[in-house]
Amino acid sequence: MAFTLQAEAAEAPQPLFSGEVSSSAVQAMHPFPEHEQYQAGTIKPNYVSQNQLDDEVRKKYNEWKTRYLKKHPKKSDQYYVFYNLEKEAAPDNAVSCSEGHGYGMLISALMAGYDPQAKDYFDGLYRFYKAHPSVNNPALMAWQQIKTGAGDIIDTPPSNSDDGSRSATDGDMDIAYALLLADKQWGSSGPIDYLSEGKAAIAAIMKEDVNQQKWSLKFGDWVENNDPDYGLATRPSDFMLSHLRAFGNAAGDPNWAKVADNTYGIIQTISTKYSPTTGLLPDFVVWSNGGYAPSPPNLLETDRDGYFSWNAARVPWRVPVDYLLSGDTRALNQTKLTNAWISKKTNGNPSKIVAGYKLNGDPLDDNDPAIAYSAPFAVSAMLDSSNQNWLNTLWKSIVNAPTSSNSYYGNSIRLLCMITISGNWWDPTDASN
């Protein structure tokens, strides 16, 4: 079904089930557009007005919601993000994953105020998350959900398989951050205590997803600290420094600063030693010979594990957000280096961004659509006013790329990056909010 901005904004919210209070009865305290004041000297696209920036976000949100946000066929009070529409996941009966679920919870919390049903969506996503816990910790979400049997039964793969019953750190972190957003957006005095649930998720992440010997982020709650292959390995796309800052503020736990310190140290080590001309980080990082190094091939996924590929594509979005919000300069040089390299590599033409590079900047042989790469580069371009023309060109490219021509992964990352670029990403633990 096609959506227009006018029709979507005027659409009356429908309760999820009999007796539910519609979200229209609960006022959003941080309605979209938020227009956050980012760090002085950072930029946004300037060839269009702020209203046009916001309208482009609304348009892509409507398209994303129509395509991926689905009501559970058997549970009328639950929603999930359908991540296998383009058959990009295995097995074929996969319908949802915690990564996409985290994206959905972030998006619905951030778009409240524009979408009158945002709270209904968020609460439905929350219920689905709680209905599909990791086998290792109920405060975390099982990585994958599948359709089973002859029809509409959605379940988590059995715990004796490796196909989704345990958690993944990126989904865990986004879900926890989204719960903090929900507390600031709607308060926690209703049926769901968002703040308590967020703090429970944060505590579980610290217990299960952090190696507290090194204060490094693990791949998920399935990794044992003493595992020789994975115990000290980490995934740079999980380097959500602003999340770590918010977790420390919300939990009152100084150990989150240790995780952030180590994470910033990994960024500096890898970019200085292994990608001094590009600043690129690889999909996975390992502890080898007393230091951090790019992963060898096939550590966890493919022969690209040590390259800037489909996981690391998110780094130029995830890492600079902390500078935008807090002004922490520890990754500023790496982010600026990567942005300068990609701008020069493509001669300022976003259509020349390809789906993956070796750390020295050589392109990988992949002709897939690269919106999952170009959108994050637009976030990193915000950090230096000399990038104004480059940022304008990137913005034009990502807003003009049709949703129908891209996958769940690229479309979700693109929308979250657009929310950030337009000035609408915010820290729920900032006292000024």
Alpha-carbon distance of 292 to 262, in angstroms, equals 11
One-letter amino acid of 33: P
CB–CB of 136/29 below 8 Å? no
- The pLDDT tens digits of the residues spanning 100-158 come to 999 999 999 999 999 999 999 999 999 999 999 999 999 999 999 998 866 667 788 77
- The pLDDT tens digits of the residues spanning 241-290 come to 999 999 999 999 999 999 999 999 999 999 999 999 999 999 999 999 99
Report DSSP letters for 163-222, one per residue: SSSS--HHHHHHHHHHHHHHHHHH-SSSSS-HHHHHHHHHHHHHHHTEETTTTEE-SSTT
| pLDDT at site 160 | 60
Q: What is the largest CA-CA distance in the chain?
A: 60
Alpha-carbon distance of 73 to 66, in angstroms, equals 16
Alpha-carbon distance of 415 to 421, in angstroms, equals 10
Report how far apart, in Å, the C-alpha atoms of 133 and of each of 130, 168, 261 are. 6, 12, 30
Q: If we measure between CA atoms, which residue out of 425, 297, 424, 276 comes closest to residue 364?
A: 297
- The pLDDT tens digits of the residues spanning 193-239 come to 999 999 999 999 999 999 999 999 999 999 999 999 999 999 999 99
| pLDDT at site 77 | 95
User: Which segments within 275-386 are labelled E, that is strand?
Assistant: 285-288, 291-294
Residues 350/356/358/359 CA torsion (nearest 10 deg): 70
CB–CB of 317/420 below 8 Å? yes
Active site residues: 170
pLDDT at 2 over 60: no
Output the average pLDDT for the chain. 91
Distance of CA 145 to the CA centre of its chain: 18
Alpha-carbon distance of 422 to 14, in angstroms, equals 29
Which domains does the chain carry?
Answer: 72-208 (1.50.10.10)
| pLDDT at site 230 | 95
